[in-house]
Each structure stands twice: as C-alpha cells, then as structure tokens.
Structure 1
C-alpha cells in the first residue's frame, strides 16, 4: 500500500515538485535536495558601482528628453508673461507711465 502525502510529509506540507520533502515552514533541512545549484560571488570581488556614472548620464538624458516637452513650453510661456508684467509694472509706476494714465 502506498502512504499518503500527509504521512510522507509529516503533515506539515506537500511534497515538492520533484517528490522531495523540503521540511516544515521555517524548518528547512529535511531530506537532502538534489539538482539545486547556487552561485555566489565573494563580497570583495564585486564592483557595486560598475557602470553607474555611464548609466546615470545616459538614463538622465533619456528621461529628460522624454519629459522636456511637457514642462518646457509652459515654463517659457509663463517666463515671458512674467517678464512682460514686470516691465509693464515698472512702466506704469514710472514718471512717463503716471503721466500717460493720470486721468484713469
């Protein structure tokens, strides 16, 4: 007779994809696993900033060029409006401006 999964797994969980029992939740280390390969690189052999400056320049340019048409035209428009308003205010508060609009 074939035992059920609950009996084979100790009641803690199902048998894995390849029929291997991994152990209960948080209690790994049951039967040895086969076919699991992991590769690591020593911490002193890693270069965490490799290509960071190059990527920063080109990524910044890509993002800026994609968004510039959304903020540049309104910014230019409002700059010229503010410049015109400042010049107009200076004129209206000058001697010539007061003389021209003295009746109003």
Structure 2
C-alpha cells in the first residue's frame, strides 16, 4: 500500500495524519526508512502510530499504570478495532508472502 492509499484508508477510519509531509517518499517519518524498527520484520515493513497524551488519556477511565488495564472505554475499543481493520486489510494484500 503506497502512502496515498494508506492515508486515505486511515482517514476513512477517522484517523488523520498530523505531520505535514509524513508518508511522502524519502521522509523518515513516513515509515519506509530501513532503520525504522517497524520495518525490521520478516516482510520488511510495518506500521507505527504516534499517539498524543490526550488521545491516550481519552481511552481510559483511569490513566495510571495500574488503572489502565481495568478501565478501557469505548474510545479505546473503537481505536483498536480501526487498527485491527487496517492490519487485516494490509495482510490480505497479494504482497504479503513470506518465502
């Protein structure tokens, strides 16, 4: 999936890119840099999301290390469902072959 279709997919899920130029070819923030930890998988690619503190706080009733596991809310579950949907769509692609 190229940067443009990937951006459209995230936008369709209600997730908007916040870095101008992120995802453009050659931009290390775009995720295609070989040194990016996400790309050090068997397929040589991955995904990485940077979440603001405000967004992370909105996903839990109690934003403490001990409180988070027991206080997930609808925002958390909608966000994880959107991420899982994007992953499933990516994995369904014809280029997802491990030799």
Q: TM-score range by the shorter chain?
A: under 0.3
Who wins on radius of gyration, i.e. which is larger?
Answer: 1
- TM-score, length of structure 1 as denominator length: 0.24
Higher helix share: 1
Higher relative contact order (Cα pairs below 8 Å, separated by 6+ residues): 2
